[in-house]
Amino acid sequence: MSKTHYHSQRLSREKLAALLQNEDVAELSFSALVRLYREEPGLAGFRPDGGYQIDPRNGERIIFNAARARRPHDNRPVTESRVGLPERPCVVCQGQTTGIIDMAELSEGVTFINKNLYPLLFPAEEALPGRVQGLHLLQWTSSLHDRDWHNLPLVDCVVVMERLAALEKLLLTQDVEGFLPEATNPTGERAFVSIIKNYGRLVGGSLAHGHQQIALSNIIPRRFLDNWRFEQERGETFAAYMLRENPPELLVRDYGPAVLLVSYFMRRPYNMLLILKESGRRYLHELSAVEMEAVATGWRDAIHTIRELMPRMGRETAYNVVTHNGPGAGLYFEFLPYTQEIGGYEHLGLFSCQERPENVAAQLRETLGDRRELLRHRKKNFHRKDAKDAKKKKVTTQPSPGSGWA
């Protein structure tokens, strides 16, 4: 395996220690988290004003927040004049970030969670009817600048997913007193945890250092409403429906407890869904160990294929990942590479997709096959080179997928 250290930047142990406020989110109470959030020094200047509106046609929620326009961006593409110049410094690697509320060791470096300095939501001291209440947090996949889902060992991807689940649990199962339920929300749930990932400046990713965003809100995001309505109208979750109805040839990979697939209604090339087979699952923190590993593997594979295929299309790499948890969803994740622009017809709800789902599914399977071939090749060379060491360390192999595309 190549020993090239292409990651030139990282957040050092010293800087991590200076930022550490709490090591394990599972041992934090919700009220303590809210207190740490309110007391975070930099946050006050970027508070949202708490106002929002609902589009009466479809229930979309619009939060007004002028402060976010002042966010720094460090991932605009390198212009020709910058080629050959030193790498741009990363604010996160420099430690110019907020206090850490969760930190876990990875094979190299750590993964950690802190507060978003430019929050979409804020836990106002006085909860008023008709106002937005919430928290907005960030999970940095690795303290190493260039490490993210596609190039972390699977064991580390699992740790990152477990930490996300622990945070989700704290946000949902602790007493969210002071969070007024939204009057117009029919689901009966009083809090929603939205877990997303933005990568690339074209789709809202303002920082290059790999991260996930987690938002707790008292207002319901539109897609949560869609999932809830789906189950009300059809008597099954969207996940259960897709597992039954989606054509088998659109399967990308079967992990046993979860499947990665292209939907028959794919709007954009390489859009993928990762779906939990156990339809009783509604949240990340409800997953068993094998389900957690399946989900982490699915995230790693989907992001790997997006990063492989977008440059081949001549597109700048940019994608979003969204988590569908809560009522009506089952549990599923959408991977949305920005492979085509959104035009006027799309804003009317009429999408023209430049590729067919069956072709995309075949290409995705092939790309994942290439990756496994490469990993096998690396492993073989490693054994040949250092067979004695390998025996001593007892190298663990990754479990093969449950069925399908091994």
Contact set with Zn ion (CB under 5 A): 90, 92-93, 145, 209
Query: In the complex with Zn ion, which residue's Cβ is closer, 205 or 401?
Result: 205
Q: Work out how close the CB of 86 gets to Zn ion at its nearest, in angstroms, rounded to a whole number.
A: 14
Q: Work out how close the CB of 350 gets to Zn ion at its nearest, in angstroms, rounded to a whole number.
A: 40
Q: Which two tokens stand for residue 218?
A: 């008292």
Query: In the complex with Zn ion, which residue's Cβ is closer, 97 or 133?
Result: 97
Query: In the complex with Zn ion, which residue's Cβ is closer, 74 or 355?
Result: 74
Q: Work out how close the CB of 12 gets to Zn ion at its nearest, in angstroms, rounded to a whole number.
A: 11
Query: In the complex with Zn ion, which residue's Cβ is closer, 90 or 158?
Result: 90
Q: Work out how close the CB of 82 gets to Zn ion at its nearest, in angstroms, rounded to a whole number.
A: 17
Query: In the complex with Zn ion, which residue's Cβ is closer, 9 or 194?
Result: 9
Q: Work out how close the CB of 140 gets to Zn ion at its nearest, in angstroms, rounded to a whole number.
A: 8
How far is 280 from 277, CA to CA, in rounded Å?
A: 9
Q: Work out how close the CB of 385 gets to Zn ion at its nearest, in angstroms, rounded to a whole number.
A: 32
Query: In the complex with Zn ion, which residue's Cβ is closer, 108 or 346?
Result: 108
